[in-house]
Structure 1
Amino acid sequence: MSLAAGGEELGVLVGAVGAAGFFGLMIVIVWQVAATWRARMLAAREEQYKELATRYARLLEDTVELQRRTAEEQRQTLDELTQTRLAVGSMEKMMREIE
């Protein structure tokens, strides 16, 4: 019986080691899958940040161009207003001379 009991204990020990190995392997697999998933998420987020930065850079360029055009149009409007004032002033002077 001693030999049978020893064999049974050996079987239990082998089963325990096998189960521990299996669970250890499963933990490593799950850990690696999670790490891979996390790395993919970080890469995707970084790509989104790059796209967002590019988009905002384009918007900034468009805004600067729009401000430049607006300033140019304001200068033109001011020049036209100055010319109109001069013309009105000349007409007023001419009307005073006629009277």
Structure 2
Amino acid sequence: MNVRAWADVIGTAGFFTLVIVLIIQGSRIWRSRRAAVPESHYRELAEHAVRVQEETERQLRETAERLTEINTRVATLERILKDVD
């Protein structure tokens, strides 16, 4: 084989090596992007869970305040009923 033939062989091998590397890198990028989608979904889900938890905490606080008010009224009513006896 002459120098020109060897240059063609080396060029062809280099070209196919480049194509293979590009395919491998492309598949890695595609997999990482595909994996990134669920992460954003989980982030949104976690943010929603935090909002729901904060709302539940607010409602629980309001319920505790109402219960304290009811206990105060019941205690007052009990005192009144004891005074009537």
**Do both proteins adopt the same fold according to a TM-score greater than 0.5, normalized to the shorter chain?**
yes
The count of residues paired between Structure 1 and Structure 2 equals: 85
- The normalised TM-score by structure 2 is 0.73
Select which of 65, 72, 75 maps to 1:89. Answer: 75
- The normalised TM-score by structure 1 is 0.65
Q: What percent identity do the matched residue pairs reach?
A: 17
Q: Deviations over 1:4-43 (max 9, x none)?
A: xxxxxxxxx46xx85x567545533442232121121122
Task: Give the whole-Å Cα distance in 2 for the aligned partners of 1:77 and 1:27.
Answer: 75
Structure 2: stretches of 5+ with no match in the other structure: none
List, as ranges, runs of 4+ consecutive aligned residues in structure 1 with deviation greater than 4 Å.
Answer: 20-23
CA RMSD in angstroms comes to 2.5
CA radius of gyration, larger in: 1
Structure 1: stretches of 5+ with no match in the other structure: 1-12
